[in-house]
Amino acid sequence: MSKAPQTGLVVRGHGRHYVVEDQDGQRIHCLTRGKKSDCVVGDRVRWMRSSEHEGVIEKVEPRRNLLFRQDEWKTKSFAANLDRLLILVAVEPQFSESQLTRALIAAQSAGIAADIVLNKTDLPGAPAARERLAPYKAMGQRVLELSLKGRPDESREVLLPLLHGQATLVLGPSGTGKSTLINLLVPDAQAQVGEISQALNSGRHTTTTTQWYWMDAGREDALIDSPGFQEFGLRQIAAPDLASYMPDFKPYLGECRFHNCSHRHEPGCAVLTAVEAGAISPSRYRIYDELWDELSAPPKY
Ligand SMILES: Nc1nc2c(ncn2[C@@H]2O[C@H](COP(=O)(O)OP(=O)(O)OP(=O)(O)O)[C@@H](O)[C@H]2O)c(=O)[nH]1
Ligand SMILES: [Zn+2]
């Protein structure tokens, strides 16, 4: 049993307990040193075996990026070192545009490419959902229209090339088809969950923690499933920076009369003019306005 430091990938975390995958794909239960648990799924770490079935994480390698949300009280990490975020929405249940915009802003500010997947396009509400997504398409955002259940083969053909060689985090509110998506792309998903739980020596927490899946035997294509959540806080972003993370606002930035324009009430505001002219959608502007209030409000405690 080698006790030399090795590199590994964090594939699951819970408290101070992690599952690290070594370079051969073996998974081992690891702890961090000290009380602080500062690893997240997707982290590359240096770790050492401490016993046959356990290891210790010595060091977290520098991250390329970290996707997280932050409210007044806490910061919650989704995962690190991501290549892509897939935001799954569906024709039914109707998606929240505010949550969608928040996810896009978080990805943009973390420097992570994001795509929207509109699922259940086989349902009669598809045109209305498409309409709600029109402003996103117009601002250059990719929107993939799929029917994961209705046309699984076609969906796989669209998704596989897009996700190849990447680590992709999937976000999607309950009922949108996230399980359907994962089972479509990761045929042995259940076995992978089982293997990781076994390394942790527990069958618990299978649905409440972030889960890393390999889509292929060569371990090149990864899907990361993140548990559901209520609020997507964006407290990490300063209100004056918001507009720069919104591609539909961007063309107008720098065109306002005041250089520190908040684009809310100032005369000579190019953003407000664009809203009036219909170049920025009313719903996107409303979300911007609400976010501004939220991000500039002092903490309540
Ligand atoms: N009509 C239609 N229904 C779909 C499609 N994809 C998934 N569904 C259905 O939508 C429901 C939710 O799908 P799931 O994959 O369980 O969704 P989920 O997002 O994992 O939901 P939770 O388990 O609640 O988190 C199921 O009844 C699916 O059969 C689709 O393309 N078209
Ligand atoms: Zn302005």
Same domain, yes or no, for 177 and 158?
yes
* Residue 157: count of CB within 10 angstroms of its CB: 10
Average pLDDT over residues 264-285: 97
Torsion of CA 32, 69, 182, 47, to 10 degrees: -20
Q: Decide which of 33 and 162 is more confident.
A: 162
How many domains, the chain? 3
Which helix (H) or strand (E) covers residue 77, if one does?
strand 75-80
Residues 70 and 151 in one domain: yes
pLDDT in tens, 58-89: 999 999 999 999 998 899 999 999 999 999 99
Q: Does the residue 1 lie in any domain?
A: no
Predicted confidence (pLDDT) at residue 166 exceeds the cutoff of 80 = yes
Residue 207 and residue 248 share a domain = no
- State residue 199's pLDDT score: 78
Q: What is the pLDDT of residues 177-186, one digit of tens each?
A: 999 999 999 9
Q: Are residues 82 and 221 in the same domain?
A: yes
For ion ligand 2, residues whose CB falls within 5 Å: 256, 261, 263, 269, 271
CATH of the domain at 13: 2.40.50.140
Same domain? For 188 and 109 the reply is: yes
Note the ligand closest to the C-alpha atom of 261: 2
Sort strands 44-51 and 54-60 into parallel, antiparallel or unpaired: antiparallel
Whether 34 and 167 share a structural domain: no
> Given the CA of residue 155, which atom of ligand 1 is nearest to it?
31
Examine the pLDDT at 240 and tell me if it is beyond 90.
Answer: yes
Mean per-residue pLDDT, 287-294? 97
Q: What is the distance between the terminal CA atoms of the chain, rounded to a whole angstrom?
A: 50
Task: Indicate if 55 and 74 belong to the same structural domain.
Answer: no
Residue 266 located in a structural domain = yes
Which residue range is the domain that position 97 belongs to?
66-225
Burial (CB < 10 A; 0-12, 13-18, 19+), residue 177, is: buried
Q: What is the mean pLDDT of residues 5-12?
A: 95
Domain CATH for 208: 3.40.50.300
What confidence score (pLDDT) does residue 33 get? 84
Q: How far is the C-alpha of 263 from the C-alpha of 258, rounded, in Å?
A: 10
When the pLDDT of each residue in the chain is averaged and rounded to a whole number, the result is: 93
Q: How far apart are CA 10 and CA 256, in angstroms?
A: 46
Helix/strand/coil for 27: strand
**Cα 294 to chain center, whole Å?**
21
**Whether pLDDT at 52 is above 90:** no
151 Cβ below 6 A of ligand 1: no
Calculate the CA 232 to chain-centre distance.
11
- The pLDDT score that the predictor gives to residue 112 is 98
pLDDT for position 37: 66
The Cα 116–Cα 91 span in angstroms is 13
The predicted structure's pLDDT at residue 31: 92
Reply yes or no on whether the pLDDT at 1 is more than 70: no
Predicted local confidence at residue 58, as pLDDT = 92
pLDDT at 261: 97
Furthest-apart CA atoms within the chain: distance in Å: 71
Q: Which of 179, 182, 226, 230 to mutate to test the pocket of ligand 1 (most atoms within 8 A of CB)?
A: 179
Please tell me the residue having the least CA distance from ligand 1 atom 22.
174
Residues 75 and 219 in one domain: yes
Is 80 exceeded by the pLDDT of residue 301?
no
38 by Cβ neighbours in 10 Å (0-12 / 13-18 / 19+) ranks as exposed
Whether residues 203 and 256 share a domain: the answer is no
Q: pLDDT by residue (tens digit) across 186-226?
A: 999 988 888 888 877 765 544 578 999 999 999 999 999 99
Task: Say how many Å lie between the CA of residue 161 and the centre of ligand 1.
Answer: 23
Taking residues 279-287, report their average pLDDT. 98
Tell whether 51 and 86 lie within a shared domain. Answer: no
| Claim to verify: residue 148 and residue 263 sit in the same structural domain | no
> Residue 232 domain-assigned?
no
